[in-house]
Amino acid sequence: MINQSQTLQNKTLRALLPGDALTGGGTEGGKKAALAEIDASCRVPVLFFFLSGLAWLLAGTVLALVASIKLHTPGFLAGWEWLTFANVRTAHLNTVVYGFASQISVGVTIWLMCRLCRIPLVAPGLITVANLFYNLGVTVGVGGILIGDSTAIEWLEMPRYATPILFVSYALIAVWTIVTFRLRAERHLYVSQWYLLAAVLWFPWLYGTAQVMLLIEPVRGVVQAAVNWWFAHNVLGLWFTPIGLASIYYFIPKVIGRPIHSYYLSVLGFWSLALFYNWNGMHHLVGGPLPAWMITVSIVASVMMLIPVITVAINHHFTMVGHFGKLKYSPTLRFMVFGAVSYTLASLQGVASAVRSISEVTHFTHHTIAHAHLGMYAFFTMVMFGAMYYILPRITQREWPSNGLISLHFWGVALGIVLYVVPMSIMGFIQGTMLNDAAVRFLDVVQFTLPWLKLRTLAGLLLAAGHVAFVINVGWLLVRMFEPYRKPVVSILTGEAETVAAAKLP
């Protein structure tokens, strides 16, 4: 019975696939598609996601710089009421989280899913349309924040009229990603697929629950704070982290041509992350008026995160051993390894500052902000940059135009983020000890932070330079895409894949 209906369902779904992609007979998934065919099917939607994501990255960078400058020079742009610190900082968070990071995530997810399922993308046109609506949603949301319509709920500041557009377009994307998975030609799942599928399903659950419990039918009292932090922490932990890890698990073996060190460890890492991460959010409320057990459970779960983090770290390190020389030649590997190391560091820092005695010092200081950027930027964004360096030449069938710009991008953002995170972590800790000392005047604490905040603006400028270099390189790549195909100067693809490219494109 069940088998029959499943077969029927699969037949209906398979009718959606283009042409002869799945003409294979008996096996459920059908014939495996060639890499070039898969890449070509992803070209339009993934390019759309990457390009709009990068546009939001530039917007987010500008907003971040404005916010950073305002913290040490309050008079900066003070005459424009829609650019007050509260608006700019909030708009920065929402552009980079929903505009940049989420869109790049979806692009990478789609491409990885197709590659690992070994079939072309189902309904690329629909996904592209959904992407356009998603961008409309982000534009409305960020615009709403700038004109003062923020809901003032952290990570959910977008006004209520923006969220349905986001949710529906996201649902469309997610549904077609899952349909692609359902029709896969490869029965066995790679660990990356576990992470991607989980992330695709977890995110609407998080976002939907938080919307219902905080905006549509708000719960009362401290439960609001509990739901808010459950959501905000899980967006990082159950949406961005799994996609980042899925990318690392795919790209490091792929670039160095060597399978992952231990598949057992990767399975253990996935299931322990699924078990523990969801409980972590309440450690943001240490010292708050919540029942002691909620916070204690959260602290224990945060410390338990050492299990997935250390298994992942061991796995990636032992996969890389003996191949570190390759960092010199592959931009993807550089960004991936930087991200993987940052993931370990960010998690260890997070575990430490979840503990009550350390949270007493670091809470409400710049230490938390440094930690957020270590996780969101040094880990996740770097991994996404690495993935784009691998994916873009393959879907456009063109080589990266400038190695110099690649180096400028890497060193700009790598130095920038180190210069951001390290001093801010130290400064936040000192700031926390000063705030806890009743003998120190509050104004002295503020004045102590000023030189460090200027240093942060400098770090932000370095990041911005890196972003501009990357965007120029991507733009150049696109220009090349519309030029007649020429032999690349330096190749990254295998000869075979590119022969197909040469035959396909004029």
Partner 1 sequence: MSNPQESPNASSSRLDRGENHDVTELHAAVLREKPDPVEGFEPVNLWVVAGIAGLLFWGGSYLTQYSGRFEAMEFSEFPHGKPVPVAAVAADPLAAVKREGMIAYNAVCALCHGEDGAGKAGVAPTLAGSDWVNADGPNRLLRIVRHGLKGTVKVNKDVTWNPANDAGIVMGSQWDAIGGTNEKLAAVLTYIRSSWGNTGAAVTPQMVADGLAPVKDRSADANWTQEELLQVPASGAGAPAAAAAAATPDQLKAQLQALPAEQRQALLKELSK
Partner 2 sequence: MSVIAFILLGSVVLLPAAGLLALRWATSTGQFRCPDKAALLPFDEVEPVGMETDCILGGNRR
Q: Binding of partner 2 at residue 138 (CB under 8 A)?
A: no
d(CA 60, CA 54): 10
> CA distances (Å), 26 to each of 22, 31, 33, 115, 356, in order?
11, 10, 16, 22, 58
Question: Judged by CB, which is closer to partner 2: 71, or 189?
Answer: 189
Give, to the nearest 10 degrees, the angle between helix 442-481 and helix 403-436. Answer: 160
Question: Judged by CB, which is closer to partner 1: 20, or 81?
Answer: 20
Q: Is the dihedral of CA 339, 341, 345, 350 positive or negative?
A: positive
Show the tokens assigned to 260. 């992952």
Residue 72 CA from chain centroid, whole number: 29
Q: Binding of partner 1 at residue 326 (CB under 8 A)?
A: no
State in angstroms the smallest separation of the CB of 451 from partner 1: 37
State in angstroms the smallest separation of the CB of 393 from partner 2: 8
Show the tokens assigned to 300. 């224990």
Question: Judged by CB, which is closer to partner 2: 258, or 454?
Answer: 258
Show the tokens assigned to 126. 């629909």
- Helix spans in 118-221 (H): 124-146, 163-182, 191-211
Q: Binding of partner 2 at residue 191 (CB under 8 A)?
A: yes
Question: Judged by CB, which is closer to partner 1: 126, or 307?
Answer: 307
On the 0-12 / 13-18 / 19+ scale of CB atoms within 10 A, 235 is: buried
Residue 332 · residue 255 · CB < 8 Å: yes
> CA distances (Å), 380 to each of 24, 210, 374, 397, in order?
38, 23, 9, 26
Rule CB under 8 A: which of 266-295 touch partner 1?
A: 268, 289-293, 295
d(CA 30, CA 11): 11
Residue 141 · residue 164 · CB < 8 Å: no
d(CA 164, CA 105): 20
Q: Which of 5, 25, 503, 506 binds partner 1 (CB under 8 A)?
A: 503
Question: Judged by CB, which is closer to partner 2: 326, or 454?
Answer: 326
User: Under 8 Å CB-to-CB from 133, ≥6 apart: which residues?
Assistant: 165, 168, 169, 172
State in angstroms the smallest separation of the CB of 330 from partner 2: 4
Q: In terms of C-beta distances under 8 Å and separation of at least 24 residues, what long-range contacts does 149-152 make, across chains too?
A: 150/86, 150/87, 150/90, 151/214, 151/215
Interaction pattern, residues 340-359, with partner 1; x per rule: CB under 8 A? ----------------x---
- Name the segment binding partner 1 (CB under 8 A); options: 136-144, 165-173, 432-440, 493-501: 493-501
Question: Judged by CB, which is closer to partner 2: 142, or 197?
Answer: 197
Residue 311 binding result from partner 2, partner 1, none, given CB thresholds of 5 to 8 Å by partner type = partner 1
Residue 366 · residue 429 · CB < 8 Å: no
State in angstroms the smallest separation of the CB of 56 from partner 2: 26
Q: Binding of partner 2 at residue 331 (CB under 8 A)?
A: yes
Q: Which of 29, 37, 233, 400 binds partner 1 (CB under 8 A)?
A: 37
d(CA 17, CA 495): 28
Interaction pattern, residues 73-112, with partner 1; x per rule: CB under 8 A? ----------------------------------------
Please name which of 193, 269, 278, 191 lies closest in space to residue 236, comparing C-alpha atoms. 278
Q: Which of 300, 369, 471, 481 binds partner 1 (CB under 8 A)?
A: 300
Q: Which of 77, 314, 348, 497 binds partner 2 (CB under 8 A)?
A: 497
- Binding-site size, partner 2 (CB under 8 A): 54
Rule CB under 8 A: which of 389-448 touch partner 2?
A: 389-390, 399-400, 403, 406-407
Question: Judged by CB, which is closer to partner 2: 19, or 325?
Answer: 325
Q: Binding of partner 2 at residue 328 (CB under 8 A)?
A: yes
Residue 443 binding result from partner 1, partner 2, none, given CB thresholds of 5 to 8 Å by partner type = none
- Name the segment binding partner 2 (CB under 8 A); options: 1-9, 124-132, 261-269, 473-481: 261-269
State in angstroms the smallest separation of the CB of 236 from partner 1: 22
Question: Judged by CB, which is closer to partner 2: 17, or 406?
Answer: 406
d(CA 216, CA 209): 10
User: Over 372-390, what HEC string results?
Assistant: HHHHHHHHHHHHHHHHHHH
Q: Which of 4, 187, 289, 437 binds partner 2 (CB under 8 A)?
A: 187
d(CA 379, CA 454): 24
Q: Binding of partner 1 at residue 24 (CB under 8 A)?
A: no
Q: Which of 51, 140, 199, 213 binds partner 2 (CB under 8 A)?
A: 213
Residue 146 · residue 82 · CB < 8 Å: yes
Q: Binding of partner 2 at residue 253 (CB under 8 A)?
A: yes
d(CA 289, CA 464): 40
Residue 114 · residue 18 · CB < 8 Å: no
- Name the segment binding partner 2 (CB under 8 A); options: 29-37, 69-77, 233-241, 459-467: 29-37
List contacts with partner 2 (CB under 8 A): 32, 34-35, 115-116, 118, 186-192, 205, 209, 212-213, 216-217, 250, 253-260, 262-264, 267, 271, 274, 326, 328-333, 389-390, 399-400, 403, 406-407, 490, 492-494, 496-497
List contacts with partner 1 (CB under 8 A): 33-34, 36-37, 257-265, 268, 289-293, 295-297, 299-300, 303-304, 306-307, 310-311, 314, 318, 356, 487-488, 490-491, 493, 495-500, 502-504
